[in-house]
Amino acid sequence: MDAPTILVVEDDDAVRRGVVDALTMSGYQVLSEGEGGRGLETALRATYQLLLLDLVLPEYSGFEILEAIKRERPGQPVIILSARGEENDRVRGLKMGADDYVVKPFSVRELLARVDAVLRRTTERPSVVKDYQFPGGKVDFLRREVCFDDGGRDELSEREAELLRYLVAQGGRAVPRDELLRQVWGLEPRNIETRTVDMHVAHLRQKLRSQNAVVTVRGKGYMIEGS
């Protein structure tokens, strides 16, 4: 499996170089930007698994970038890096969806530990998926709509769309029911007896016009067709 890619948006050249070097030496792929405008652009268009984000930046602040990220790429893991140690900034960042907050100055060891912890916590998060092409049609997740090549259309419920989006994001991995309950329904599966996952899978197969649209992997869970 390829090493995770981390985007660093930090305007202090020395800090940015130090963070990039530390991450690179630890085996990560690294992208970096030194100001808010470029940082925002790269944060929205690039492919990466974690964003390390400074708060005080030229042109756009870290808070503005964080707001845009959470709007356009929900589920994107973010760690805030800032000299601002005040509690209100930390609380604001976490309430806006940041996964962690590291106050400068920090040690390389602390930073790498935080990076590792956030990446481990977020391995089950879906990647940002806006659409899905399948034999005979396409799913638009923003509209929650199935568009078939023959001109037919169908609508997905919010839960059906999120379930399909999650399965698509996992690629070739069979996803256990317990993980789907946690990540799509927000339920802790312990001591819960429910067939809701299976029922929603059946609905997706019907709406995608294929009993093989979502494949059952015996003893492991569900995966998307052709993954």
pLDDT over 60 (residue 59): yes
pTM over 0.85: no
Domains of the chain: 5-121 (3.40.50.2300), 131-224 (1.10.10.10)
pLDDT of the residue at 62: 94
Contact between 99 and 77 under an 8 Å Cβ cutoff? The reply is: yes
What is the arithmetic mean of pLDDT over 193-208? 93
Tell me phi and psi for residue 100, to 5 degrees.
Answer: -160, 170
Pairs from 177-182 (Cβ < 8 Å, separation ≥ 24) = 177/221, 177/222, 179/124, 179/221, 180/221, 180/222, 182/124
Q: Say what the pLDDT of residue 4 is.
A: 86
pLDDT digits (tens, 9 = 90+) for 205-226: 999 999 989 999 998 899 998 6
pLDDT digits (tens, 9 = 90+) for 149-174: 999 999 999 899 999 998 998 877 88
1 — pLDDT class (breaks 50, 70, 90):
very low
**Cα–Cα distance, 38 to 188 (Å, whole number):** 39
- Distances in Å between the Cα of 98 and the Cα atoms of 48, 107, 174, 179, 209 are 16, 20, 28, 22, 39
